[in-house]
Chain A
């Protein structure tokens, strides 16, 4: 059974904190992604990675960074959390041109 696991379902952080969202996949896929989901805006791509230590900016990378030290793990980092980063964050993995599998999501609230 496919597993994409995000470290937290719910997080509450204070403005200015550094926040780490972790994602682990057991599918041995090269491709991993971080999306942000907001009502009416769909899923917007923040960053993606095609290989270990490789990263590329998506459509909304400002205020975020990522780390991929191992193939199975892809971390999203909010360097200094702001209230406009309150959102649902979804990690995903995908084989080339095939179905994407999502984690359960992390609902982050920045106060």
Chain B
């Protein structure tokens, strides 16, 4: 089945800095790549997603890039704020099964 690796497991940045989280996957048939944010005690919620026919997508301070050849995609958060502190999960969908998630990154933004 699909294998998704996510790095780093923890990330601490100063407020205003950028944060980058990277994921690699194994199944070349994967075609949908969402990112979820989970705040403490809450359910995961989608923050941005990208499909395989697009290389980059941006939504205000958040962007995702996809390199299908290398089978990796990344989440970029610019001008980080304390409310960005959460656990972030990447996920991969081949369309044949369920979403396969990475192991998560705990982002801490220091004020």
**Neighbouring B residues of A54 by C-beta, 8 Å:** none
A99 contact from B9, B46, B101, B103, Cβ within 8 A: B46
Partner of A48, one of B6, B97, B101: B97
Chain A, interface SS category: strand
CB contacts (< 8 Å) of B42 on chain A: these are: 104
B1 at the interface (CB under 8 A from A): yes
Contacts of B86 in A (CB 8 A): none
Docked complex: B89-104 residues within 8 A CB-CB of A: 89, 91, 93, 95, 97-104
Residues of A within 8 A of B99 (CB): 33, 92, 94, 100
B interface, over-half SS: loop
Which of A11-19, A36-44, A63-71, A76-84 interfaces with chain B?
A: A36-44
Whether the Cβ atoms of B34 and A99 lie closer than 8 Å is yes
Q: Which B residues lie within 8 Å of A59 (CB)?
A: 1
Query: Which residues does chain B contribute within 8 Å of A45, judged by CB atoms?
Result: 98, 100
8 sample A-B contacts, Cβ–Cβ < 8 Å, listed by A number: A40-B9, A43-B89, A56-B97, A90-B44, A99-B34, A100-B34, A102-B45, A103-B43
A contact residues vs B (CB 8 Å cutoff): 31, 33, 35, 40-45, 48, 56, 58-59, 90, 92, 94, 96-100, 102-105
